[in-house]
Amino acid sequence: MREFCRKTLDELRALDSPTVSNAIEGFKIRPRTGGYAGFDLRCVFPELGTTLGYAVSCTADSTTEGRPDPKGLYPLWEAVEASPKPAILVIKDIGQDRTRSCHLGEVMATTAKALGAVGCVSDGGLRDILEIQQLGEFQLFCPGFVVSHGNPVICDVGLEVTINGVTVRPGDLLHGDVNGLLAIPDEIAEQVAAEAYRVRAMEKEILDFVKSPDFTLDGLRRLNENFRH
């Protein structure tokens, strides 16, 4: 786990997630098809803009009747308290019926925010959406909502999990907005913003040309060739 300075975090938070994704591709340190979540992971409050934070990961089960819960939520809350800030809860469902699971509502969201979290990511359901919206500045990424918490149990805390195709380790820097969620590799995090602005500049030049009266496919081809070299 690596903790980054406020300047780096502010620069990354000012960017949209697709631009960050394009910037990461330029470093060629992971497959182009890796590091981001699939479309089942939906951003619940797009009006909040970009969410950025360090992952606090756990597994959970809310659909196994009678599963014991000897420690309750305290191991998770202790991990959030110990995490660099801002933190993001990452809850992996391991229950019997993910489509009926529910892993966070108003009370958990309020507690997590008080401990320095700015959001929750889960491949299971969440609830109390209007109340969490009123809480403010706490983002949710999930496939949907479920009315009952069932038999909620936090199983293991602080382990590697895979959520809708993106592998998340404790302390990973997550970046998400209305377009989706991705993980930023530690080794390039401090360079991503500069690369993102370079990508934006190239895209602007292409868009300006496409919108101009001088636009031709041959011209577009030459412009793209120049950017590749």
Q: Name the domain count of the chain.
A: 2
| Collapsed DSSP state (helix, strand, coil) of residue 216 | coil
What is the per-residue pLDDT for 228?
A: 73
**pLDDT of residue 192 exceeding 70:** yes
pTM of the predicted structure, to 2 decimals: 0.95
Strands 117-122 and 139-142, bridge-based pairing: parallel
Which residue is listed with tokens 């992996």? 92
Q: How far apart are CA 120 and CA 195, in angstroms?
A: 28
Claim to verify: residue 107 and residue 198 sit in the same structural domain: no
Does residue 1 lie in a domain region?
A: no
pLDDT bin (cut points 50, 70, 90) of residue 226 is confident
Please enumerate in sequence order all residues whose Cβ is within 8 A of that of 100, keeping only pairs 6 or more positions apart, or say none.
Answer: 63, 125, 146, 150
pLDDT bin (cut points 50, 70, 90) of residue 6 is very high
Claim to verify: residue 218 and residue 181 sit in the same structural domain: no
pLDDT per position as a tens digit, 181-191:
999 999 999 99
Claim to verify: residue 130 and residue 178 sit in the same structural domain: yes
What is the per-residue pLDDT for 164?
A: 97
What is the per-residue pLDDT for 229?
A: 56
CB-CB contact of 199 with 19 (8 Å): yes
**pLDDT of residue 119 exceeding 80:** yes
Claim to verify: residue 32 and residue 140 sit in the same structural domain: yes
Q: Which residue range(s) make up the domain with 210?
A: 193-228
